[in-house]
Structure 1
Amino acid sequence: MNFHEYQAKDLFAQYDIPVPKGTAVKSADDAVAVAKAMDTHQWMVKAQVHAGGRGKAGGVKFAKSLDEVKQYAGDMLGMEIKTYQTGGMALPVNEVLITEAANIENELYLSLLVDRANKCLSFVASAEGGVEIEEVAKTHPEKIHTLTVDNTETLWPYACRKIGFAMGLTKKQVFQLTHIMMQMHKMFHDLDLSLIEINPLIIDDNQNVVALDAKINSDDNAEYRQKELAKLRDKSQEDPAEAKAHEHELNYIKLDGDIACMVNGAGLAMATMDVIKLKGGEPANFLDVGGGATAERVTIAFKIILSDPNVKSILVNIFGGIVRCDLIADGIITAIKEVGVEVPIVVRLEGTNVEAGKKLLEDSGLAVIAASDLDDAANKAVEAVGA
């Protein structure tokens, strides 16, 4: 789950990580009221969307008067922003953040993420902030500093101080950075996060270290114990089909192809997509209905699949281990009758009660294409697209 900048900064403030004062608003008049209440004469107006690159798309403006605050907020609210990070979607701007403008002496970079290679958490820091960290790593790898946090130990302040001195900070700033890193680590564990990124982390004109921007991602698998965080979800920033799938505990990701996949199990879903590619086809989605698939979930899955106008055939690949094939077959039949599927459907069943499941499909009178195995199913799904 992603968070808006203002939500991330609110969480930062709760963990005593310094951020500029700011408030998110939904109207230009409220923007002016918030700006007036601040002890400053310069403000930043920032569109709140789940993507980087807002500035180049007109989503970040420096205002030197209340009239400019009102103008920029009015221009942004209601606009749609599409950047290299939106996955082709144009995200609506429903809120803008009004924050005091900072006097920047220097821009740094700091993040904490799940390091899968080392199977632990790692900090990534750089004296080059405000730019794409990937480009810095490519062109100036010596400017990237990494701190891995051993799972059998805690995060030690001395290790944070080493990073600060390596970045060329003063003694005062090193201790401030150490505090921020320690709080980030605590926050990461407390809130079940998967990423914290501050870009830029700045040195202001008072020589203090401040988080000027904030990006946070949380682990959806821990949502059941992070109820307050779950309330912050903004579905307007998500693909509608993916948001609907999330509501029904389905794992769905839209892709660019035309062969839809409905599979039970993430590994089997990945294998199904691979075989479709091997046969010359293009998967339209990743969809895992889970081990506890029911007729209702299968019906919802069909509706989500068919919301994509690019879908020209559907491959249903079910291995009946926890769930019985006859129950899945019954769900497929119910779903097809309710939804009214007009594209070819290829079904491959294997596992518990497979024969009973196949017979139900055969006797249904529906135009379902039976497949003997995954290879056969992929061939038939690809052929159906070209038919």
Structure 2
Amino acid sequence: MNLHEYQAKELLKKFNVPVQEGISVDSVMAAEEAYRQIKSETNSKFAVIKAQIHAGGRGKGKIVGSEQRGVQVVKSAEEAIEVAKNILGGTLVTIQTGPAGKKVNKIFIAKDAYYDGPSPTKELYLSILLDRAKGQNVIMYSTEGGMDIEEVAHSTPEKIFKEWIHPSGGLLPFQARKIAFNFGLSGDAFKSCVKFVTNLYNAYLGTDASMLEINPLFKTSDNKIIAVDCKLNIDDSALMRRPEIAALRDVTEEDPTEVEAGQYNLNFVKLDGNVGCMVNGAGLAMATMDMIKLSGGDPANFLDVGGTANAETVEAGFRIILKDPNVKAILINIFGGIVRCDRVAAGVIEAFNKLGNIEIPIIVRLQGTNAAEAKKLIDESGLKVESAILLSEAAALVKKAVA
């Protein structure tokens, strides 16, 4: 589950991680009030308005129909009002959103972190994620923080450092000091960085995060280390024990069909192809998608109905797949292990009758427990459904349907 920047920062503060403070708002009037409040609390010359969407690259992204970027510096209440008008309700397109972009429903009015002080400021980069190859969490960091970190990783990979954390020992003090040293810090900034990295790793573990990225990680002019931006992804499987984090979910940022699928406990991911898939089991779903590609089609989705498929889940799967106008055929591929094939076949027939006239070809491949009985039910139903027993037969029918 993804979180907005303002939500992630609130979580980090619970672990004593210093962040760039600010106020999240969803209206122009509230944006003006937030700006005036921030100006009254600080002597800074400006504030920063940030669009809140589940995507990176906001600083370079633009609002559709204008030159307004997703991150904007403002120096007056009037300017804050104008920027808020342009961003709120607009569609922000970034390198991570694709051309469709994302609608901006909230903005974050942040305090200035670039105030004057005795030493120069510095933008750094730090992230924590799981290295599956090593089976360990890894801290990735660089002295070249900011909007061009992707280019840094591509052109000068030697500037990206990595520190692996052994699961039994956790982050050790010398590792936090090593990170601060490689950042080129000294004195108070060095001490602040060691504490920051330690608390940040505790936040990563304490929120069951799958990825935590701070870009930029900022050294202020008075040698403080703060998170100016934060991207935090939470492991979906851990949400059952993190109800306070699960409550932060913003479904408006997610694909509506994926949200609907979740209500029926269906594992669904929308893709760009023309053949809808309904399968039980993730491994079989992946094999089915490969088979569709080999037969000349492209999978329109990944849909795993699980091992307890019934008429309700099959009907929900049909309804979700049919919402995609690009779908030219639907392939149902079920292996009857935990669930009986005849039960799935009955669900297909019931769903077909409930949903009414379905014009596109439906191909059903059932194998395993009661597969013969299931094929008989399908063949005798009178519906425009083609059945198959072998995967090769299903492949041939898919090829015919998309030809």
User: Does the pair score TM above 0.5?
Assistant: yes
Number of the residue aligned with 1:64:
75
Number of the residue aligned with 2:65:
none
Assess if the C-alpha contact under 8 Å between 1:346 and 1:369 holds in 2. Answer: yes
AA matched with 2:190: V
Q: Give the CA deviation at 1:87.
A: 4.5
AA matched with 1:53: G
2 CA distance for matches of 1:157 and 1:249? 43
**Secondary structure of the corresponding residue to residue 55 of structure 1:** coil
Number of the residue aligned with 1:365:
382
| The one of 246, 249, 265 aligned to 1:233 | 249
Number of the residue aligned with 1:46:
50
**Secondary structure of the corresponding residue to residue 276 of structure 1:** helix
Q: Provide, for residues 337-382 of structure 1, a one-character-per-residue CA deviation record: whole Å limited to 9, x for no partner.
A: 1123221011100111112211111121111111121222122112
1 CA distance for matches of 2:46 and 2:388? 66
Change (3 A) 1:178 1:292: farther
Q: Give the CA deviation at 1:332.
A: 0.8
Moved more, 213-222 or 104-113: 104-113
Asked whether 1:86 is paired with 2:86, we answer: no
TM-score by length of 1: 0.97
| The one of 352, 376, 387 aligned to 1:336 | 352
Assess if the C-alpha contact under 8 Å between 1:62 and 1:101 holds in 2. Answer: no
Number of the residue aligned with 2:13:
13
AA matched with 1:363: E
Number of the residue aligned with 1:327:
343
Assess if the C-alpha contact under 8 Å between 1:91 and 1:236 holds in 2. Answer: no
Q: Give the CA deviation at 1:135.
A: 2.5
Assess if the C-alpha contact under 8 Å between 2:24 and 2:106 holds in 1. Answer: yes
Q: Provide, for residues 42-69 of structure 1, a one-character-per-residue CA deviation record: whole Å limited to 9, x for no partner.
A: 1111111111122221111100001111
The alignment yields a C-alpha RMSD, in angstroms, of 1.4
Assess if the C-alpha contact under 8 Å between 1:173 and 1:207 holds in 2. Answer: yes
TM-score by length of 2: 0.93
- Count of residues paired in the alignment: 386
In the TM superposition, 1:109-124 aligns within 5 A as 109-124=125-140
Assess if the C-alpha contact under 8 Å between 2:295 and 2:398 holds in 1. Answer: no
Number of the residue aligned with 2:118:
none
Number of the residue aligned with 2:269:
253
Number of the residue aligned with 2:394:
377
Change (3 A) 1:351 1:87: farther
Number of the residue aligned with 1:37:
37
Moved more, 83-92 or 351-360: 83-92
Number of the residue aligned with 2:141:
125
2 CA distance for matches of 1:153 and 1:142? 27
AA matched with 1:43: A
Where does structure 1 lack aligned partners over 5 or more consecutive residues? none
Asked whether 1:212 is paired with 2:228, we answer: yes
Assess if the C-alpha contact under 8 Å between 2:296 and 2:402 holds in 1. Answer: no
Q: Give the CA deviation at 1:132.
A: 4.2
**Secondary structure of the corresponding residue to residue 9 of structure 1:** helix
Number of the residue aligned with 2:371:
354
Change (3 A) 1:374 1:184: farther
Asked whether 1:267 is paired with 2:283, we answer: yes
AA matched with 2:72: K
